[in-house]
Amino acid sequence: MADSLQRFNRNSLTGQHHLELLAPAGDRSKMEMAIAYGADAVYVGSQHFSLRAHSKNFSLTELHSAIAYAHERSVKVYVAANILAHQQDMSGVRDLVRELKPLQPDALIISDPGVFSIARQEAPEIALHISTQASVTNGESARFWAEQGASRIILARELTLPEITSIRHDLPPHIELEAFVHGAMCMAYSGRCLLSNFLVNRGANQGECSQSCRWEYEVREVKRPDQPLLLTEDERGTYLMNSKDLCMIEHIPALVQAGLTSFKIEGRVKSSFYVATVVKAYREALDRYLKDPQNYVFDPTGLADLEKTVHRPFDTGFYFQTPHEDAKIYLEDTQVREAAVVGIVQAYLPESGLALIEQRNKIITGQSLEIVAPKGPHLDVLATGMLDLERRPIDSTPHPRMYFYLPVPQPVQQGSFVRRIGDKDQPKTTAAL
């Protein structure tokens, strides 16, 4: 453990590596939220050649502005160009790399050797990270990419911690290792799935995955088409291919000891508030660890916060063992929802003790709320004494994005979000965490 800390601690005297919290940014709003809540780096997609085509992503003009915004705050930006490219894609890939070059992203995320080669030719000064889509599962593969000029390997999700430790020992010290620590897992090997292609003609490896593995399915016998058979006893449907969600917040020392330096959160298509909650939980856990690694003790507050997001049951994936009959990463259930965002703090008026809130979901008098700021503990408040903009009492906030005043006992930061507690198993809304 001590050797790992010396090599990989953010405060290491060698300065070769630091522990990085890497957050998803599906659009500008999500990027700003990730940065505000503590991300060291964000990964984004251009509007072409990214594996999240149905995320809003960034135009080149938006990327230019986003990269400048992040760099002003000492946050790195990695641009995903990680499709498995077909022949007709290659001229467009070359154009994209040429257009990205003057924007100075901190790295490109690439899985395809042809795309890698073009990036080396057109922008040799931009660092290249090998995508998890490349399925790096052994030290020989990792060394191969390092010899081609990659500076970081994003490991396949199917690795155990001992395997990661072995790969780390096979690599030169300057090569970084990144891995997913939180978010959705995939039922296919490192995302190499053709189910979406087959069912809806949307290529998962070209960025258009429909997440067909998370749909409900029935089996029908040919001669009895009116008698569908559910594959589980769950009355809500069957989810035989639906994986659990990864959550490694309880195991930060083990991740560091294995040699990981970048902790990646999945979720470019998740909400801004999901990103904020997850980033804050891991940020605070990492900071506590870095402050005193030898005496670090996990604080369950972070896990409690993660439980309040829209998620499927949490699991540690492949990190501690290859899943088998007694340790499945698949489930027969739907997502869990614990809390809903109901508003964003726009201002605080100290003379009256009121916070000006922009509504995101309806609340009614008497509901328990929680205000979540980028830093510090959450603030519990009760939805009482609400006022409209004319300072007239109101019992609810029924109008989308309406402004209202909420009594708050202490100052709260602009941009903090307000969430309602106790929404488990309620229907999901578009503004849900």
Tell me: the pLDDT tens digits for 333-369?
Answer: 455 666 789 999 999 999 999 999 999 999 999 999 9
Per-residue confidence (pLDDT) for residue 53, from 0 to 100:
47
Q: 139-148 and 161-170 are packed helices; what angle lies between their axes, rounded to 10 degrees?
A: 40
SS3 (DSSP) at 273: helix
Per-residue confidence (pLDDT) for residue 311, from 0 to 100:
84
Over 245-260, what HEC string results? Answer: EEECHHHHHHHHHHCC
Q: Which residues neighbour 89 within 8 Å (Cβ) at sequence distance 6 or greater? A: 49, 83
| pTM for the predicted model, two decimal places | 0.82
SS3 (DSSP) at 221: coil
Nearest-Å Rg of the Cα atoms of the chain is: 23
Asked if 157 and 318 touch (Cβ cutoff 8 Å), the reply is yes
Beta bridge partners of 153: 130, 177
Question: In 3D, which of 290, 296, 305 has the Cα closest to residue 377?
Answer: 305
Question: In 3D, which of 336, 340, 332 has the Cα closest to residue 313?
Answer: 336
**H helices, E strands: number in the chain:** 11, 18
Best CATH choice for the domain 339-421 from the list 3.30.2350.10, 2.40.30.10, 3.20.20.70, 2.30.40.10: 2.40.30.10
Q: DSSP string covering 154-171, please? A: E--TT--HHHHHHHHHHS
Residue 271: both structure tokens together: 């909400």
Cα 325 → chain centroid: 28
Question: In 3D, which of 5, 8, 76 has the Cα closest to residue 39?
Answer: 76
Per-residue confidence (pLDDT) for residue 2, from 0 to 100:
35
Per-residue confidence (pLDDT) for residue 56, from 0 to 100:
65
Nearest-angstrom CA–CA distance, 268 and 31: 10
Per-residue confidence (pLDDT) for residue 421, from 0 to 100:
81
Per-residue confidence (pLDDT) for residue 13, from 0 to 100:
28
Low-confidence ranges of the chain (pLDDT < 50): 1-16, 53-54, 206, 233-239, 325-327, 332-333, 425-433
- What count of Cα atoms within 13 Å lies in the side-chain half-sphere of residue 306? 27
Each domain of the chain, given as residue ranges in start order, spans: 2-188+244-315, 189-230, 339-421
CATH class of 2-188+244-315: alpha beta
